[in-house]
Amino acid sequence: MPDTTSVVDTLDERKPYIELKQANKSGELACDNTSIAGAMSQRACVYSGARVALNPVTDAVHLVHGPIGCASYTWDIRGSLSSDKETFRTSFSTDMKELDVVFGGEKKLSKSIDELVELYNPPVIFVYSTCIVGIIGDDLQAICKEATERTGIPVIPVQSEGFKGTKSDGYKAACHALMQLIGTKEPEITSEYRINILGDYNVAGDVWLVKPLFEKMGIQVITSMTGDATADSISKAHGAQLNLVQCSGSMTYLAKWMKKEYGIPFTKVSYFGIEDLSIALRSTAEFFGSEEMMNIAEEIIEQETNRIMPEIQEIRSRLEGKTAAIYMGGAAKALTLIKGFRELGMETVIIGTQTGKRDDYKQISYQVKDGTVIVDDANALELADLLVRQKADLMVAGVKERFLAFKLGVAFCDFNHDRVIEFEGYDGFLNFARELDTTVNSPVWRYVGSKIGDSCTGKNGAEETTDSTAKAGTIKKIDGDNNMQKINPITLQQEPVA
């Protein structure tokens, strides 16, 4: 049982999910369970997992079978980019009404599929089931099978009823859908070295900064799943000799299946941060055992690192010593971020994920320093409390956490769907560093918690030039006055002025 007594005030049930990393003390963090009712989890549902993992398939029709809300809130949800078709940005829904719920939505779904085939002639249709479909028992498998036979277009069911587990189960449902396509076409082979990029969603164009590196090494990238993937490229994925898995939470399941089904091995990699990116390139070259490829990889690593280093160093000088909080959907990204921060001179003080597994948290525990808080399925109040207690200067997370951090005067970087700049590859890491510099070192934070007149008396404003002094004057507090379980108001201690 992790020691949580001094970590954070929360529901008793939540305590096993929060751990303070301490030397010689290794607790087993509870994880991989459904969220606790009323605990205000930052997680979504099975459908959400399936949707985010599968949605970037660019030329597919993504049809949501359910009432309008599920389609409405996930319209164009990922900032994934496409090099060709934009069909995936369109939100299709059967918009089930009361009568469909009473009499079943099967007919409407069949007709909807026919309609979409006629209008769009897509290479594939993914049909997502929502909560209500699971309850009324529409036979998605049968309808899709019939539709495939009738239309000649693969119509693939995605069993993603929202209540049937967690977001991770949604990833699995997405993988199952991809399995239906893989192996249905033969690839044209242009190189003796072939890989698939798995678990990259081409958010803001990430893949476009990574794929050329492999191609320079003489490797053919058959498909990247699912960022900027087409139905055609996915169907040829079995032609690869190696799968590189980045987002392990969503794609390991598929990689394991491909190993079993096609004998394709996989390695876990990350394209974020100089160190992890170098490891990805080197280990790939090592796998193929080509000396020539290894030389090219080394050349890329050296040249690219030298190219971006001067600016990285300059930014690092402004970030050195700052503390970071990480709250991610998946554990792979959280892990690689710890290293990325270190490369910029920053230390992680809070790290959490929505869908991490036991092994992930073990890995994380090895990576972070004593005194770091590790948390699974954190909720808004815990995160707010932790940001203050752990004195984080910056938080990296998604939109729901953004305004929570802002209200507490904590800098923020979006590493989620909302991001519009690339963070992967060499230029991506430079972008990341610039973004941190922009938010951490912005003068806006010195005004948080200030009152009229403060700037005249030097409590904030122009007189103060360093950030530590700027932050010191700020009162950060989570209001807990009207709490039944009395939680003392939390006040950030005055930092010693350097």
Partner 1 sequence: MSERNYTTVNPCIMCQPIGSVMAFKGIEDSMVLLHGSQGCSTYMRLHLAHHFREPVDIGSSSLSEKGAVYGGSENLKKGLKNLILRYNPKVIGVSTTCLAETIGDDISRIISEFREEEGIGAERIIIPVPTPSYEESHNSGYIKAVEAIVKTFTMDESKKAIFNNKLNVVLSENISPEDTRELKHVFDSIVGHNSYILLPDISETFDAPMTGELHKIQPGGTTHADIADMKNSAATIGLGITNDNKAVNYLEQTFDIPSQNLPLPIGLEYTDRVLAALSNISGAEIPDEFQKERGRLIDAMVDSHKYVYGTKVAIYGDPNNVLGMLSLALENGMHPILVVASSKSPRFAEQAMERVKQVKPDCDVTILEDVDFDTFNDAVKKAKPQMLIGNSNGKYIAKEMNIPLIRFGFPIHDRVGAQRILTLGYKGAMRMLDRITNTILEVEDTELAAKWSEPESYVPLGESGFHSAEA
Q: Which of residues 254-313 bind partner 1 (CB under 8 A)?
A: none
What is the rounded distance in angstroms from the CA atom of residue 56 to the CA atom of residue 370?
Answer: 38
Residues 463-482 that bind partner 1 (CB under 8 A): 474-480, 482
Residues 498 and 157: their CA atoms lie apart, in Å, by 60
CA-wise closest residue to 144 among 133, 131, 128, 130: 128
Greatest CA separation for the chain: 77
Sites for partner 1 among residues 383-442 (CB under 8 A): 384, 399-400, 402-404, 406-409
Nearer to partner 1 among residue 191 and residue 483 (C-beta): 483
Does residue number 497 form part of the binding site for partner 1 (CB under 8 A)?
no
Position 115 contacts partner 1 (CB under 8 A): yes
In this complex, which beta carbon is closest to partner 1, that of residue 153 or of residue 245?
Answer: 153
**Nearest-5° angle of CA 117, CA 254, CA 17?**
115
226 upstream amide cis, omega within 30 of 0: yes
Give residues 44-63 in contact with partner 1 (rule: CB under 8 A).
44-48, 63
Among positions 41, 148, 455, 468, the unique one binding partner 1 when judged by CB under 8 A: 41
The rounded distance, in Å, linking the Cα atoms of 107 and 261 is 35
Site map (CB under 8 A) of partner 1, residues 149-168, x = contact: -------------xxxx---
Contact 374, 365 (CB under 8 A): yes
Give the three-class secondary structure for 156: strand
The answer for residues whose C-beta is within 8 angstroms of residue 496's C-beta and 6 or more apart is none
Task: Give residue 159's identity as a one-letter amino acid code.
Answer: Q
Going by C-alpha positions, the residue among 59, 382, 429 that lies closest to residue 232 is: 59
Torsion sign over Cα 339, 342, 346, 347: positive
What is the size of the binding site for partner 1 (CB under 8 A)?
81
The nearer residue to partner 1, 43 or 236, going by C-beta atoms, is 43
Could you say which residues in the range 162-201 bind partner 1, by CB under 8 A?
162-165
- Is 101 a binding residue for partner 1 by CB under 8 A? The answer is yes
Using CA atoms of 476, 478, 480, 485 in order, give the dihedral in degrees to the nearest 10.
-120
Rounded to the nearest whole angstrom, what is the least distance from the CB of residue 230 to partner 1 in the complex? 21
For residues 49 and 167, the answer to whether their CB atoms sit within 8 Å is yes
Q: Taking CB under 8 A as the rule, does residue 85 contact partner 1?
A: no
Per CB under 8 A, 103 contacts partner 1: no
Q: Which is nearer to partner 1, 127 or 312 (CB)?
A: 127
Considering the complex, state which of residue 194 and residue 389 has its C-beta at the smaller distance from partner 1: 389
Q: Compute the distance between CA of residue 109 and CA of residue 203 in angstroms, rounded to an integer.
A: 30
Interacting span for partner 1 (CB under 8 A) from 17-25, 191-199, 378-386, 426-434 = 378-386
Sheet containing 18-20, strands listed edge to edge, beginning at the edge strand earlier in sequence: 18-20, 373-376, 347-353, 323-328, 394-397, 411-414
Dihedral sign computed on CA atoms, order 458, 462, 463, 466: positive
Give the pair of three-digit tokens for residue 380.
């808004």
State in angstroms the smallest separation of the CB of 220 from partner 1. 35
Q: Which two tokens stand for residue 207?
A: 């893949």
Please, are residues 383 and 9 in contact by the beta-carbon 8 Å criterion?
no
Q: Which of 4, 82, 94, 223 binds partner 1 (CB under 8 A)?
A: 94
355 contributes a contact to partner 1 by CB under 8 A: no
Binding of partner 1 by 136 (CB under 8 A): yes
Contact pick of 8, 60, 96, 203 for partner 1 (by CB under 8 A): 96
Q: Is 38 in the site for partner 1 (CB under 8 A)?
A: yes
Is 366 among the residues that bind partner 1 (CB under 8 A)? no
Select 23 or 119, whichever has its Cβ closest to partner 1. Answer: 119
Q: From the CB of 222, what's the least distance to partner 1, in Å?
A: 31
Do 217 and 285 touch, CB atoms closer than 8 A? yes
User: Does residue 90 belong to the site contacting partner 1 (CB under 8 A)?
Assistant: yes
Residue with tokens 């399995």: 179
11 binds partner 1 (CB under 8 A): yes
- Ordered DSSP codes for 205-230: TTHHHHHHHHHHTT-EEEEEEETT--
Q: Which is nearer to partner 1, 303 or 442 (CB)?
A: 442
- Indicate the residue among 295 and 494 with the shorter CB distance to partner 1: 494
- Among residues 74, 129, 220, 223, the one that binds partner 1 under rule CB under 8 A: 74
Among residues 132 and 324, whose Cβ is nearest to partner 1? 132
CB of 341 to partner 1, least distance (A): 24
Closest approach, Cβ 290 to partner 1, in A, equals 46
Least distance (Å) between residue 357 CB and partner 1: 18
Q: Which is nearer to partner 1, 200 or 401 (CB)?
A: 401
User: What is the closest distance, in whole angstroms, from the C-beta atom of residue 66 to partner 1 in the complex?
Assistant: 7
- CA–CA gap between residue 476 and residue 489 (Å, rounded): 10
Q: CA 11 to CA 4: how far, in whole Å?
A: 11
Cβ distance to partner 1 smaller for residue 194 or 471: 471
Closer of 18 and 240 to partner 1 (Cβ): 18
CA-atom Rg of the chain in angstroms: 24
**Would you count residue 71 as binding partner 1 (CB under 8 A)?**
yes
